[in-house]
Amino acid sequence: MQKQKMNATTDLINAVQTYFDALYYCDTKKLNEVFHKSSSLFDVDKGKIFVEPIASFSKDVGGRVSPESKGQKPEAEILMIDWLSPDCATVKIRIRAHRNIFVDHLGFVNGEDGWQIVSKIWHLEKEIS
């Protein structure tokens, strides 16, 4: 059982790294691998809830200038993993993209395609001058 948990943790961390890489390189192939095709992203601004399906977010990411192309070093970290079950976890991360620092809660499930994000709640923590 302990080895199984270690493998699950390693596989989950690898999926989080795929997410980090997808945003750093603006790589929609990686992004679409790590997000479940039915997933959505959520934010709230001044009381208004913003919902974006993964297809829209992927298109947006594909049109961005990547942090890597601007010479920015990767800045991303896992802040917490909360295991709901052996196949479900919420991962809290912090990531920098250009001048923006975001904190995300990523809902992961381990299904037929491995660990995938089924929901993302994000927040712009701060902008760097």
pLDDT for 6 equals 65
CA distances from 15 to 9, 34, 36, 71 (A): 10, 6, 12, 24
CA distances from 33 to 47, 64, 95, 108, 120 (A): 32, 18, 19, 13, 15
Confidence tier at 129 by pLDDT (50, 70, 90): confident
Confidence tier at 72 by pLDDT (50, 70, 90): very high
Q: Using the predicted structure, report yes or no on whether residue 62 has a pLDDT greater than 80.
A: yes
pLDDT for 3 equals 54
Domains of the chain, CATH where assigned: 2-127 (3.10.450.50)
